[in-house]
Chain A
Amino acid sequence: MKKIMVLEDDEGIREELAILLSNSGYSVEAPEIFESPVENILNSAPDMILLDINLPGMNGKEILRQLRKQSQIPVIMVTSSDAERDEVITIGYGADDYITKPYNPTLLLLRIGNIFKRMGQTEEVADLGGGSLNFRKSTLIGEGGEEIVLSKNEMLILSYLYGHRGKIVTRDELMTDLWNNSEYLNDNALTVNISRLRGKLAEAGIENVIETRKGQGYILET
């Protein structure tokens, strides 16, 4: 389980962030005291840090600057001041992403997921049982070796489901992912894309891998 450290001094936000992240299958460490933050981070060695800019004592930018001297742990900066300067400086210090409050929780989870995916994804081909998915060429490969080309939307949906295989993925999550990739679909279009994707999977001999969970979403079983 990936561990995320939340450095946030607002109690309400800190508690809810911890719930949000642990609901999404991360282990969370959210300290309430901000003394020697850099040492604390290094000691607990999280896989990612959500770092608020306005912290008592050492501010987020300074923490990031000092941390980067010793570690390349992914950092997402979180702040409610939308002064452009902050953004430029923190990205310069080596933050991996930057989110302003009040943020959309689904989008926050997606950004976290994307960073982990960027770090971890070395596989080029995913086995879907009966056939496989080629990420680079964005094609499905059937058992007989036949290739079926996926559209950008179909590819985004299938990669997202694959990245969360075995878990229920809500339509809202899929929508967030598609919109985040500049594909501004409506509800009908999502349904159409999923049924087309199912068609192509069946064509490649991969039957019934995407299940519909009524009122909840979809799940990819492999």
Chain B
Amino acid sequence: MKLKDYLKDKGVEIVLSLVLLVLVTWLMIIFRLNIAAIIIIDVLMVLTETAKITIGFFRRRKFYNSLSNNVKRLDKAYLVLETLERPEFLEGQIICDILYEIDKSMMENVGIYVKNSKEYAEYIETWIHEIKLPLSAISLKLHNMLSAGDVDPGLKENYKKIQAEVGRITEYVDQALYYSRSENAEKDYHIQEVTIGSIIHDSVMDFRETLLENRIDLKVEADSSEKVNTDPKWMRFIIGQIISNSIKYRREDVESYIKIGTEVKDNSVILSIEDNGVGIYPEDLKRVFEKSFTGKNGLGKARSTGMGLYIVKELCEKLGLEVGIDSKQGEWTRVSIQVFKDMYYEMNV
């Protein structure tokens, strides 16, 4: 709060006081008062008015300055009330009381949404648990039908196609589960010590059939015995999404491969997943981790939801992992994830 602005705001009052001063002086002259008395009264009137304005200014300046500065400084502006001293003047007290009421009603309102979103996330978890039962039954049924001795080759083809579709459903179901987990503020990961080998193993086992069917070579050249601290289930999903992209965006005119490697650093292991697929256009590269971004490749034959890499990025951030992507359009794509060895790195919950 600046003095100039304050004076401007008090302009009408000041003008009225001056009018009053002139009027009073004029009256005193008419009543033929002693000239010295007139001067003394005028000076007193001016002094009183000045004192009133000055005191008012300093009282308000302290309160409003800390109010506006703290609002700017805080990343959660609604917490400003907690940082203020209760002012001595009435207007300030009224503002504080109103702020308190506003905060309370906002908290109650936000509380409803927090509760709703928590309940929704719980429902999603339960629903996914339930949907996996019929999916399991279907995939078992298909397996049993396929391994029955005398299956017609045409029928066998069809069973295999259904099996592949069930695989896709399962993948999308898991994506929904991890999307819900990545959006939810609740901490539901479980950090433990695991070897790089077991992380890679769990992820690639899910894709064995798809990789073999599409004749994609899997080359694992990793320091498998290296130990890291992370959530193995989240890692399995994260790497799974990346492998799934590599399969989706392979090139038909080359012998496709996916290469999984590691680079061991002092306190971390960089896990890289590289393919020789269609690659990513340079202008799309920066944006692939954005929510719902599909880019030029996403418009092609493999339809994309634009969610996979976004969820990967979100989960990595929650786990405190660095994830990066590099690519040459038409040649290769490489995703690298830095996983830490010790438990005490920063996690963003």
Segment among B66-74, B131-139, B263-271 that sits at the interface with chain A: B131-139
Asked if B10 CB lies within 8 Å of chain A CBs, one says no
Query: What string of 1s and 0s marks CB contacts (under 8 Å) between B219-246 and chain A?
Result: 1100010000001110000000000000
Residues of A within 8 A of B111 (CB): none
In-complex Cβ contact of B134 among A12, A106, A186 (8 A): A12
| Nearest chain B residue, comparing its CB with the CB of A178 | B208
Asked if A180 CB lies within 8 Å of chain B CBs, one says yes
Q: Is the CB of A179 within 8 A of B205?
A: yes
Q: Is the CB of B129 within 8 A of A81?
A: yes
Asked if B119 CB lies within 8 Å of chain A CBs, one says no
Q: Is the CB of A179 within 8 A of B215?
A: no
Q: Is the CB of A80 within 8 A of B147?
A: no
| Nearest chain A residue, comparing its CB with the CB of B133 | A10
Q: Is the CB of A187 within 8 A of B170?
A: no
Asked if A116 CB lies within 8 Å of chain B CBs, one says no
CB distance from B24 to the nearest CB of A (A): 84
Asked if A16 CB lies within 8 Å of chain B CBs, one says yes
Asked if A13 CB lies within 8 Å of chain B CBs, one says yes
Residues of A within 8 A of B209 (CB): 104
The number of chain A residues touching the other chain, given as a range, is: 20 to 34
Q: Is the CB of B136 within 8 A of A80?
A: yes
Chain B residues 182 to 205 lying within 8 A of chain A, measured CB to CB, are 189-190, 192, 197, 201, 204-205
Asked if A102 CB lies within 8 Å of chain B CBs, one says yes
Residues of B within 8 A of A19 (CB): 140, 144
Chain A residues 81 to 117 lying within 8 A of chain B, measured CB to CB, are 81-82, 84-85, 88, 101-107
Q: Is the CB of A180 within 8 A of B205?
A: yes
In-complex Cβ contact of A23 among B129, B144, B205, B233 (8 A): B144
| Nearest chain B residue, comparing its CB with the CB of A183 | B220
Q: Is the CB of A102 within 8 A of B135?
A: yes
In-complex Cβ contact of A84 among B144, B190, B218 (8 A): B190
Give the complex CA separation of A84 and B202 in angstroms: 14
In-complex Cβ contact of B212 among A80, A107, A175 (8 A): A175
CB distance from B62 to the nearest CB of A (A): 53
Q: Is the CB of B231 within 8 A of A102?
A: no
Give the complex CA separation of A113 and B109 in angstroms: 56
| Nearest chain A residue, comparing its CB with the CB of B255 | A186
Asked if B248 CB lies within 8 Å of chain A CBs, one says no
Residues of A within 8 A of B136 (CB): 10, 12-13, 80, 101-103
CB distance from A213 to the nearest CB of B (A): 12
Residues of A within 8 A of B232 (CB): 84
Residues of A within 8 A of B201 (CB): 182
Give the complex CA separation of A75 and B143 in angstroms: 23
Residues of A within 8 A of B342 (CB): none
Asked if A169 CB lies within 8 Å of chain B CBs, one says no
Residues of A within 8 A of B190 (CB): 84-85, 88
Give the complex CA separation of A107 and B326 in angstroms: 34
Q: Is the CB of B233 within 8 A of A102?
A: no
Give the complex CA separation of A81 and B124 in angstroms: 12
Residues of A within 8 A of B224 (CB): 182
Give the complex CA separation of A176 and B212 in angstroms: 11
Q: Which of B133, B147, B189, B204 has the most CB of A within 10 A?
A: B133
CB distance from B287 to the nearest CB of A (A): 31
A-B CB proximity, top 7 nearest: A12-B137, A16-B140, A84-B190, A80-B132, A102-B136, A105-B143, A184-B218
